[in-house]
């Protein structure tokens, strides 16, 4: 039986990295070179946190979690904890969340909407991690 980890903890990040690198090939990521930072506002402990991904030629180069300001990125998505957590739980699709106005995007909206299917592919892997939200 898999161990349950706390969402956005270092253990969760380590498991996310292992699964993403093992399950999503550069071809499935369309050899994308980009970065995105999700900024979670109002986490259950009252703090704000981030989840950062950087890909180079479709390979996951960096996956970070932390508090405070995330690293510079091509895209920055700010929103309530429950909405962004819903993305990684597979409860909400990326394009729908962006278009709903519940998330704020910094970056090219047209490009972000085109990349939404890749974000959903990532979230399909992340939703399988046994986590406490």
Q: For 34-86, what is each residue's pLDDT tens digit?
A: 999 999 999 999 999 999 999 999 999 999 999 999 999 999 999 999 999 99
Q: How many angstroms separate the CA atoms of 9 and 122, rounded?
A: 18
pTM: 0.92
Q: Which domains does the chain carry?
A: 5-128 (3.30.1050.10)
Q: Which residue has the tokens 């499935």?
A: 28
């Amino acid at each position: 039986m898999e161990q349950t980890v706390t969402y956005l903890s270092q253990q969760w990040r380590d498991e996310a990295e292992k699964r993403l690198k093992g399950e999503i090939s550069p071809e499935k990521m369309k050899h994308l070179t980009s970065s995105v930072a999700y900024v979670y506002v109002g986490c259950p402990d009252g703090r704000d946190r981030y989840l950062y991904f950087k890909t180079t030629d479709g390979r996951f180069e960096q996956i970070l979690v932390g508090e405070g300001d995330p690293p510079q990125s091509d895209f920055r998505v700010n929103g309530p904890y429950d909405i962004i957590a819903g993305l990684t739980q597979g409860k909400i699709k990326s394009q729908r969340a962006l278009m709903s106005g519940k998330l704020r995007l910094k970056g090219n909206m047209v490009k972000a909407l085109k990349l939404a299917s890749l974000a959903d592919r990532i979230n399909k892997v992340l939703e399988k991690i046994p986590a406490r939200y």
